[in-house]
């Protein structure tokens, strides 16, 4: 039985992806900061573990305890929505530690075993916000764009070792906890400087629905599944109708 470790399985894309892999016969190591057994009631072949990707000791403990893995899916991340001048530097560091450095930590932890056996897949989940600039998402976009670059460079060094690396780029989804988590980071509400409120209202409307093309958790889970199981999958897999439409628009613009 194949085994995949997925980070950030408490909700949203991570939870949907874990459930899809379970349904298709994989053993899933589902990690999160605060494990909740109720998320996987009656599920077979699932191991719930506590892991904080920003804590090196936490990451090391998990990878030392899980045994052989066939795939790693880095889904854990935090969202943030505000202007640069409304984003305190300690929060910038927290976002980068979670969305970028945490991914590097898990990749470093899994690579010795992947390199030793000459096989393995690493899938990093980022976002289509990296395809075009949007207001108030500068810090979040920077963290995800860095992961895109990281993964594409890493893929070149890993391929000769028999290890594949792929990216999954979801579009906007009202199903995720992006907006709610951003609220928590801002201690209960967004502190938009007055000049930026019109941008904030527009982005929030996109994040909470009200548009025709959206990304679902199933879209992302299927894209991750393909990235893991299909050696011919492209470097970037766009998950969701809006993600595919945006990628095609960007491609047409680049070709013109």
**Tokens describing residue 137:** 């998402």
Burial level of 254, CB count in 10 A (0-12/13-18/19+)? exposed
Task: Give the integer Cα–Cα distance in Å for 222 and 143.
Answer: 24
Q: Are 238 and 224 in contact (CB under 8 A)?
A: no
Longest C-alpha distance within the chain, in Å?
55
CA distance 199 to 188: 19
Contacts of 12 (CB under 8 A, 6+ apart): 173, 175, 176, 177, 178, 217
∠ CA 42-48-52, rounded to 5°: 150
What is the distance in angstroms between the CA of the first residue and the CA of the last residue of the chain?
A: 47
**Phi, psi at 232, each rounded to 5°:** -90, 0
Q: Of residues 57, 117, 140, 197, which has the active-site annotation?
A: 140
CA 172 to chain centre: 13
Pick from 136, 57, 146, 160: nearest CA to 103: 146
Catalytic residue among 57, 144, 184, 197: 144
Known catalytic residue: 140?
Answer: yes
238 carries an active-site annotation: no
Q: How far apart are CA 87 and CA 152, in angstroms?
A: 28
Which residues form the catalytic set? 140, 144
């Amino acid at each position: 039985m194949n085994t995949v470790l997925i980070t950030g399985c408490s909700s949203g894309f991570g939870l949907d992806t874990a459930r899809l892999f379970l349904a298709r016969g994989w053993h899933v190591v589902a990690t999160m900061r605060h494990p909740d057994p109720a998320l996987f009631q009656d599920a077979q072949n699932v191991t719930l573990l506590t892991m904080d990707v920003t804590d090196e000791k936490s990451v090391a403990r998990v990878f030392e305890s899980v045994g052989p893995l066939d795939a790693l899916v880095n889904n854990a991340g935090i969202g943030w929505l505000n202007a640069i001048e409304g984003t305190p530097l300690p929060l910038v560091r927290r976002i980068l530690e979670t969305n970028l450095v945490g991914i590097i930590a898990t990749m470093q932890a899994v690579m010795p075993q992947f390199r030793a056996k000459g096989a393995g897949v690493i899938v990093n989940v980022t976002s289509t916000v990296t395809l075009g600039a949007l207001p108030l998402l500068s810090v979040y976009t920077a963290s995800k764009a860095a992961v895109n670059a990281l993964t594409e460079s890493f893929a070149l060094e890993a391929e000769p070792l028999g290890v594949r690396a792929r990216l999954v780029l979801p579009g906007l989804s009202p199903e995720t906890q992006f907006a709610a988590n951003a609220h928590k980071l801002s201690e209960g509400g967004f502190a938009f400087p007055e000049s930026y409120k019109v941008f904030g209202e527009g982005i929030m409307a996109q994040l909470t629905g009200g548009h025709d093309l959206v990304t679902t958790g199933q879209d992302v889970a299927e894209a991750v599944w393909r990235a893991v199981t299909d050696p011919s999958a492209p470097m970037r897999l766009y998950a969701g109708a809006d993600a595919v439409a945006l990628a095609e628009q960007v491609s047409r613009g680049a070709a013109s």
